[in-house]
Amino acid sequence: MSKRTLPALFCALLGLAVAQEIPAAPPADSTGVPIMAEPAPLPPVNVPVTMVLPAALDGVTANLKTANAEAGGLRLTLTLSSTLGKSVELLAPRDNRQECAFAPSVRVLKVGTREVVYPNGSGNAMLCAQDMSTQQLKAGGSVAYSRTLNLPAGEYMIESWFLGSADGMRVKVPAQPVRVAVK
């Protein structure tokens, strides 16, 4: 590099540095400590959507019935009985963790182990149609929901409940668990 090129290169680089907008130093207070601007607001935190927990349906009870069965088909019937003075419209959606059944919802535990036999805990939910089962629970009347489970031989505790909506309100009506032997 020649002696002439060096000052020209220096002047070019200096010109580029000046051309860039270099922010001025922040203002200082009387002691010389820089006064910092207010920090930028933080982005909103993703707050989970609050789930509406199902309420009890006062005046409506559930009763689960089944009989000891042979291996294979175990028929369950959940009956909702009303002591209300008015009719109630019950809506039950299909449940993708319950083999797309409308109702009743069921959990089966192996007796003596608390091992959940149904529904399986794999997290592999089914893709179900988004339709609803609609029934009218008349004042002082009852409505039954039935389904069949295929279980291997063994002794089980079966928990069951209605989960849906009643007159537009999300509700859960549980039944007492039933012990059953499948042969």
Backbone torsion region of residue 146, taken as left when φ is above 0, otherwise alpha when ψ lies between -120 and 50, otherwise beta:
beta
Note the pLDDT of residue 61: 94
Instruction: Quick: pLDDT tens for 100-147.
Output: 888 899 999 999 888 999 887 766 677 888 888 899 999 999 999 999
Is the pLDDT score of 50 beyond 70? no
- Which of residues 168 and 41 earns the better pLDDT score? 168
The pLDDT, as a whole number, for residue 102 is 86
Q: Is the pLDDT of residue 12 over 90?
A: no
Backbone angles phi, psi at 18, to 5 degrees: -70, -35
SS3 of 96, please?
Answer: coil
69 and 179 Cβ atoms separated by less than 8 Å: no
The number of C-alpha atoms within 13 Å of 101 and in the hemisphere containing its C-beta is 21
Reply yes or no on whether the pLDDT at 46 is more than 60.
yes
pLDDT tops 60 at residue 1? no
Residue 42's pLDDT band (cuts 50, 70, 90): low
Half-sphere exposure (Cβ direction) of 58: Cα atoms closer than 13 Å = 1
Q: Residue 86: what pLDDT?
A: 93
Residues 131, 128, 71, 76, CA torsion sign = negative
pLDDT at 7: 64
User: Domain ranges in the chain?
Assistant: 60-182
* Cα angle for residues 176, 181, 183 (degrees, 5° grid): 155
**pLDDT value for 152:** 87
Q: CATH number for the 60-182 domain, one of 2.60.40.2360, 3.30.470.20, 3.30.450.40, 1.10.1670.10?
A: 2.60.40.2360
Look over the chain and give the mean of its residue pLDDT values, rounded to a whole number: 81
pTM to 2 decimal places: 0.68
